[in-house]
Chains A and B, each alone.
Chain A
Amino acid sequence: MNKEKNLWEIVKSDVLVIGGGFGGLWAALRASGKNSSVTLVDKSFAGKSGHSYFAGGAMMVLPPGDDLDEYVYDITLGNEWLVDQEMVTSVFSESYSRMKDLEAYGISFRKRGDKYTWTLARGTRQVKNFWPEHATAADMVTMLRKVALFRGVQVIDHVYIYDLAKDEAGNIAGAAGLGVKDTKNYLFHSKSVVLATNSGSYRGHHLACELQGTGPFMAYDAGARLKNPEFHYINIRPAKHEIEGSGILPAIGAKWVNGKGVHFMKDYDPVLKKDRAPVFKIVVAAAKEALKGNDPISIDVESLLPEERERFRSLQVSHGWMPILFEKCRREEGYDPLLDNIEWQPAYEANKIGIDADIRCRTSMKGLFAAGMARELGINPFTGWSITACTWSGCQAGDSAAEYARNESFKKIDFHEVGKSHEDFFSPMYSKAGKDPDSVVNEIQKVLFPVDALIIMKEDKLENALNQILEIKEEKISELSVKDIHNLIKARETRTMVFSAEITLKSSLMRKETRENIYYREDYPSPDNKNWLKWIFVRKDADDQPVFSTEPVPFERYPFKPDRT
């Protein structure tokens, strides 16, 4: 036993928070305000590492005087009924208080005179987005890190968590991690854990896609249930580089254009939004154009008027890198992303799969709480929803985890089990099989990125993709071998990616319908409200195989009910 214990650098606190974005930082802040000792751990530098840091900064907020029901209805419709309306109600009920908290921490929001200014969230009729003034989401999370440190949260950067630790009764009692820089083996011993990582991606064409949130999969391994495995967030981005504020360009008048110079969105969403349609609809339309041979796809900035271009510059939320990027494109590559049409491509931004949790962010595992993108937060990636929902879930999870910790004592960690997962995690270091993680990731991307895999879905193509992924899983994953810590982490991320692809493809084969703004099955082109007002869940069975189940959306509890015909 002592030998097993000696391996570890043990860090003890009442509450452990994994992940340093909006979800994790808010969870840590809230838990620390409740007389708990709190440790926050991040694989990079908390407050600068995740999706949050690169977000635009818009925050959906229900201001006093607006009708909560209208907001809940808009978000419910945007998710085409497949969202927990109780969660949406709770998110908006608290949103104004959170904006006020941020103001108290020094983040001011855009105002004209003494009145807030706002924009209408794309794809909604009523929901307002508030924007930080002279600041971005990056400034917001940086500030939250400072407040967390000031409140006494122990922040540990550069530690990669690879597994949850349990006590001998099987309840969550901490987590095991590896120091990315110091290579130490960390064991975080806590009474409760908040998992607040990202949900993960396949390293797509967008900078935040590089994130490999392994949180949901650690929870799955520990026995928790995951929700919405069939959904993912696909954005559209320039093929070669990043651009921020792509949603603003159509709003100021830029149109989507195909390789023949045709502004094609009028054929796909003629009545409503055209070029301002929800992003999923644009991706599907662009994909159909490409399948007809009408690629490349661009956003037509060449036909913008100079004043429209200036309006983009004034509205665009810049992280500071945009001017550098634009300047280097002009100087070194000979074009200006705001003057010249360039190719755009779908970007797999994040899985929508999340840990199933109640509105207090409690999971099915005792001691485990979920926040941020690691928690299921609905499907439609409205601008402004992510920050508000991650903030909300962080607060709920932080409160719940602290409350749980207050009534519990530290339990004995099952060192035998932790030792086994440590051995499993390190196995690619001792393997001589010779498959490097990058080559396997590239194979996964080749299966998933083609337009007819996960954008325009169809049974035979999904089955074909699934077979290829299962082949990679069986033949390549066990052969991963690496020489250093950096690549060891990539090996674990690669395994997670294969698992994520497997359950995404299997559950996409189950959902035989199309939902206009979130899900497209070419072979089942209509919504099926009779059979598919359901959620798909997945959990691990005794043989380590994923088991899927469905549950009807509990409309009997909700204020808004769909037409079921």
Chain B
Amino acid sequence: MIRRIDELACTGCGVCAMICPGDVIEMDEGKKARIKYAKDCWTCFSCELACVFKAVDVHPFRKPKPMAW
């Protein structure tokens, strides 16, 4: 699940918010990327991989869900 966007490293280019499949990230008044709906993160790493400024950090575990057993 997405855990952090480094405000200092973020240049506000908006790529992470544009490609996130879960609409998790929003642009803060057009300046910085901000995590808005962390619990809807797919844990797909698209944002972390797309960020050339290495501002995004995704933890490998997804949100816990009911198990089959």
Tell me the A residues contacting B by CB distance below 8 Å: 44-45, 48-50, 53-54, 157-158, 180, 203-205, 207-208, 210-211, 239-242, 287, 290-291, 295, 319-321, 324-325, 328-329, 332-333, 345-346, 438, 442, 445-446, 449-451, 455, 486, 489-490
By a CB distance below 8 angstroms, the chain A residues around B44 are 54, 207, 242, 321
Please provide the chain B residues from 1 to 55 with a CB less than 8 Å away from any CB of chain A in the complex: 18-23, 36-37, 39-40, 42-46, 48-49
Closest residue of B by beta carbon distance from A291: B69
Once the chains bind, are A321 and B45 in contact (CB under 8 Å)? yes
Closest residue of A by beta carbon distance from B57: A328
Q: Which of B21, B36, B37 contacts A53 (CB 8 A)?
A: B21
Once the chains bind, are A204 and B37 in contact (CB under 8 Å)? no
Given A44-B23, A242-B43, A320-B49, also A445-B66 (CB < 8 A) = yes
Closest residue of A by beta carbon distance from B62: A241
Closest residue of B by beta carbon distance from A451: B68
By a CB distance below 8 angstroms, the chain B residues around A45 are 18-19, 21
CB distance from B40 to the nearest CB of A (A): 8
By a CB distance below 8 angstroms, the chain B residues around A325 are 45, 60
A-B contact pairs, 21 of them (CB 8 A): A44-B21, A48-B46, A54-B44, A157-B18, A210-B22, A210-B42, A240-B61, A241-B60, A242-B62, A291-B69, A320-B45, A320-B49, A321-B48, A324-B58, A332-B59, A346-B68, A445-B65, A449-B67, A450-B69, A486-B36, A490-B40
Cα–Cα distance between A207 and B2 once the two chains are bound (Å): 13
Q: Which of B23, B45, B66 contacts A180 (CB 8 A)?
A: B23
Nearest 4 interchain pairs by C-beta: A321-B45, A290-B69, A241-B60, A210-B42
Give chain B's interface residue range (CB within 8 Å of chain A).
20 to 34
Once the chains bind, are A455 and B49 in contact (CB under 8 Å)? no
Cα–Cα distance between A333 and B60 once the two chains are bound (Å): 9
Once the chains bind, are B69 and A295 in contact (CB under 8 Å)? yes
Q: Which of B43, B61, B69 contacts A287 (CB 8 A)?
A: B69
Give chain B's interface secondary structure class.
loop
Q: Which of B39, B44, B67, B69 has the most CB of A within 10 A?
A: B69
By a CB distance below 8 angstroms, the chain B residues around A445 are 65-66
By a CB distance below 8 angstroms, the chain B residues around A320 are 45, 49
By a CB distance below 8 angstroms, the chain B residues around A442 are 66
Closest residue of B by beta carbon distance from A211: B21
By a CB distance below 8 angstroms, the chain B residues around A446 are 66
Once the chains bind, are A48 and B68 in contact (CB under 8 Å)? no
Q: A210-B42, A240-B62 are in contact. List 15 more A-B contacts (CB 8 A).
A: A48-B19, A157-B18, A158-B23, A203-B65, A210-B21, A210-B22, A240-B60, A287-B68, A290-B69, A291-B69, A295-B69, A321-B46, A328-B60, A329-B60, A489-B23
Cα–Cα distance between A44 and B17 once the two chains are bound (Å): 10
Given A48-B21, A321-B49, A325-B60, also A207-B43 (CB < 8 A) = yes
By a CB distance below 8 angstroms, the chain A residues around B58 are 324
Given A242-B62, A321-B44, also A290-B21 (CB < 8 A) = no
Given A324-B48, A449-B67, also A50-B21 (CB < 8 A) = yes
